Structure 1
């Protein structure tokens, strides 16, 4: 049986072995472990034979063992905020330029008549003119044709006698503004003045209130359509334009009309605004051709 000294010596050997494991714990820490082993005294009869693992408690070993540098915690990048999908922006709308004037007031301009009937509406613009209007009136009288005359106010005020003659022969008297401006560039006040002034003059001259209105150049605007409706007029456009105002030649004017005319057509001609001798000559040429083809002429009702 081992003596107390032998037991103590054995413990010291085990402690020394443990100290090699404690290395970096330092001498002070090692001496504390030795003193603790001596104070413990001889083991009891049930003691398990000493072993390095049994001598030092796990907590002591963990405390004494050098602490390895803990790996840096992995940085989880914050999830980038999911961008909120922007609501789709409706395209601007620009406006597309319509082929026909917008419906305002009483509606869109009339471009043609009922195509089920073989009729043509002849319209004469920019008069009255003392050089050409009398000849045009004579031709219409010759063929028994009723037309619509879109008169300019400043011409009508100078040739009031012609205005009365046009009305007396049963033709429609219609409003073509006072000075023949581009209505799209005018304020509402000026548009109203152009139309109202002309209608008042024609009413005083003929005793009849104009029921039709045509924008110069066919340049309609929503303002002009609204004002004309407020003044009791409907807008009339055209479907056959021989561009006689440009004086392309009598034959060209005649050919364009005969090529483009069809049942329900509204034909545009001019008796004012310059030399209209080509237009007068073209009327003499194409009117009998259309009549022989079975066309009838009419003035749209007011």
Structure 2
């Protein structure tokens, strides 16, 4: 049970439109049209409620991803037997925005109910006529993948664990990496090597020969035994300094200033990208899901030239 891993999906334009109706008494509709509702403007309040709900959808739905919403359009109008609300949500994201649109509609309709409840109650304080109904997704759309992702390919990713203690069957960070790589529809080959410069170089060269890209995890700190970046720099034909900077920035959001202790980097070895990241579970998840897998096709194409 948990959130679905969407790291293997592309960020594309997403759009969803949801709609719903609240059935109201005739006298309530007349009061709305005449602007005589005691609490104020129904339409404006409902629009605010919808926008707030869209932005806070992950707080209401525990397994819903937090998405970078780029636009919300809300339309509130009276219909024959009630008030109809339509919410359109746009985002550039890895998953759809239909839940955001549905939350927006639901919150707006509840807001309408709250605004007019004094008019809707009968003599006993009940709501025999009021009903929220037909809340549904009217339509949703997804744009195409970015230009350099149009033809997604499946690659073989080598994963090298650098550790004097971790081995097959006792490598939780490597197991996380395997799940992420397979979820992105790539295959993985795993390797283990001790914290020794020459051994690291030999295993990484072997992985480069057998794979399309290589992730080397562990030994990136500042302790005397942390030699992985030093070993890889002896193999790099070119070093991508920006990778380490981007990883440090992403990692800082998780572990704070401790991210500065990492010497993460990336480079090209024999025309293939090699990524050097810390060996913790959190660091592996951050590096793969937010950086490596998101641009793997692009990395490989650029490295090959």
TM-score bucket (shorter structure)? under 0.3
**What is the TM-score when the length of structure 1 is the normalising length?**
0.25
Between structure 1 and structure 2, the one with the greater Rg is 1
Higher relative contact order (CA 8 A, sep 6+): 1
